Amino acid sequence: AISTFQGIARGGSGTFAARGLGFGIPSLRVDGNDYLAVHAVAKWAAERARNNLGPTLVEYVTYRAGAHSSSDDPSAYRPKTESDAWPLGDPVMRLKNHLIKLGVWSDERHAQAEAEILDTVIAAQKEAESHGTLHAGGKPSTREMFEGVFAEMPPHLRRQRQQAGV
């Protein structure tokens, strides 16, 4: 839920991960801003599932640095200094600094990688926009929403298409 206090969202005190224990589900609470921890726990949970060992509940503790959407204004409900007080830090910078300390990465390589990634994203955006944008009036018809999705359209979608009058 957007802007829901965690105590309300969880229904009480304690962590979200602790709730899994009551159902006999192995549960972990992980620093969601630590790439290595996130990767290790996700890999472990996936292996458990692949080996038919049941579900794993993972609570990733992280900080949403940006707005929920372009129409959201976090300054209306967050103090300006809130992110400075967040102890776990930016995950990209943490991984970068860790790799530099190991001697397998550098500021120069990081800047080069960032530039290459940005170029790739911009090229992908231009390619997507070459097919039209909603702002350019290229809004697809309601009919198109139902076409070319399934080899054989399921009955519930046929009914929805009929209800839409297309």
Q: Are residues 52 and 122 in the same domain?
A: no
Is 77 among the catalytic positions?
A: yes
pLDDT reading at 92 higher than 50 = yes
Mean pLDDT to the nearest integer, 54-80: 88
Q: Are residues 96 and 145 in the same domain?
A: no
Q: Are residues 103 and 158 in the same domain?
A: no
Q: Are residues 82 and 142 in the same domain?
A: no
> Could you tell me the sign of the dihedral formed by the alpha carbons of 53, 55, 57, 60, in that order?
positive
Q: Are residues 160 and 99 in the same domain?
A: no
pLDDT at 11: 59
Mean pLDDT of the chain: 88
Q: Are residues 19 and 81 in the same domain?
A: yes
pLDDT at 8: 54
* Total structural domains within the chain: 3
pLDDT reading at 5 higher than 70 = no
Q: Are residues 159 and 119 in the same domain?
A: no
pLDDT at 1: 44
Of residues 10, 48, 68, 161, which has the active-site annotation?
A: 68
Q: What percent of the chain has pLDDT over 70?
A: 92
Q: Are residues 2 and 75 in the same domain?
A: yes
Of residues 10, 29, 35, 77, which has the active-site annotation?
A: 77
96-138 tens-digit pLDDT: 999 999 999 999 999 999 999 999 999 999 999 888 777 777 6
pLDDT reading at 29 higher than 90 = yes
Q: Are residues 83 and 108 in the same domain?
A: no
Decide: 25 and 55 in contact? Cβ < 8 Å: yes
pLDDT at 13: 62
The answer to which of 25-29, 35-39, 79-83, 99-103 has the lowest mean pLDDT is: 79-83
Q: Are residues 157 and 140 in the same domain?
A: yes
Of residues 19, 50, 64, 156, which has the active-site annotation?
A: 64
Is 63 among the catalytic positions?
A: no
Q: Are residues 121 and 150 in the same domain?
A: no
SS3 content of the chain, % helix, strand, coil (to 5): 50, 5, 45
pLDDT reading at 83 higher than 90 = no
Residue 63's domain comprises 1-89
Is 60 among the catalytic positions?
A: no
Burial class of residue 152, CB neighbours in 10 A (0-12, 13-18, 19+): exposed
Q: Are residues 83 and 105 in the same domain?
A: no
Mean pLDDT to the nearest integer, 143-157: 91
